[in-house]
Amino acid sequence: MLLFVGLGNPGRAYARNRHNIGFMAVEAIADRHGFGPARTRFRGLAREGTIAGERVVALLPQTYMNESGRSVGEALRFHKIELGDVVVFHDELDLAPGKCRVKTGGGAAGHNGLRSIGSHIGAEFKRIRLGIGHPGDKSLVHSYVLNDFAKSEEPWVRTLCDALAENAALIAKGDDAGLQNKTHLAMDAAGFGQAKRVGEA
């Protein structure tokens, strides 16, 4: 069994925030693959389904970002899921908008959701890093991530989430390079190549 975790903050006020792109991605995957309805479990909203023959729990912690690890830890222990079968989708300031990179383990790089998860289950989980760009000044980061995507950004956000949903079998199979390649090609095909990508200098 795999655990797909989307990071974000609960509630309508945060729904379209840059910080919530992890929620958006996991919801897109669960919708595309016909997962069951969301149930309130593990201090979050959980949906279950199958991708490429693998059972998957899609979890959106409802603890607020800073306490995401509580929710993830409960789900991990209940389902007896191995740390290597946890996949966390999160916003990444250090990647250009629309970029997707996959890594396993590492530090939190200032991301409070990752820090919380690491403190509860350890750091060696897989991360799907979804680029949102950087405001350019460290003092602006807090307001930047907690502001909504601009209307002009919404097309690439939708395209990226659709590409992740379309290629979720690659995530289930552990084909990290394949996933990165497919999402890159999808973004390029939609006109969001690196030179044209919204928000990029």
Q: What is the mean pLDDT of residues 124-140?
A: 97
Going by pLDDT thresholds of 50, 70 and 90, the confidence category of residue 77 is: very high
Going by pLDDT thresholds of 50, 70 and 90, the confidence category of residue 201 is: very low
Across the chain, mean pLDDT equals: 95
CATH number of 2-189: 3.40.50.1470
The answer to whether residues 136 and 10 touch, using CB atoms and an 8 Å cutoff, is no
Beta-bridge partners for 46: 39, 59
Q: What is the mean pLDDT of residues 3-17?
A: 98
Q: What is the mean pLDDT of residues 79-91?
A: 98
* Residue in the block written with tokens 């950087």: 134
pLDDT at 158: 97
Instruction: Name the most confidently modeled range: 26-30, 109-113, 190-194.
Output: 26-30
For the chain, give the percent of residues with pLDDT over 70. Answer: 96
Sign of the CA dihedral with 141 first, then 93, 111, and 149 last = positive
The answer to whether residues 93 and 86 touch, using CB atoms and an 8 Å cutoff, is no
Catalytic residues: 19
pLDDT at 193: 74
pLDDT digits (tens, 9 = 90+) for 143-170: 999 999 999 999 999 999 999 999 999 9
Going by pLDDT thresholds of 50, 70 and 90, the confidence category of residue 194 is: low
Tell me the two tokens of residue 117.
């998860």
Q: What is the mean pLDDT of residues 48-74?
A: 98
The C-alpha torsion from 61 through 62 and 63 to 66, rounded to 10°, is 60
Beta-bridge partners for 130: 91, 100
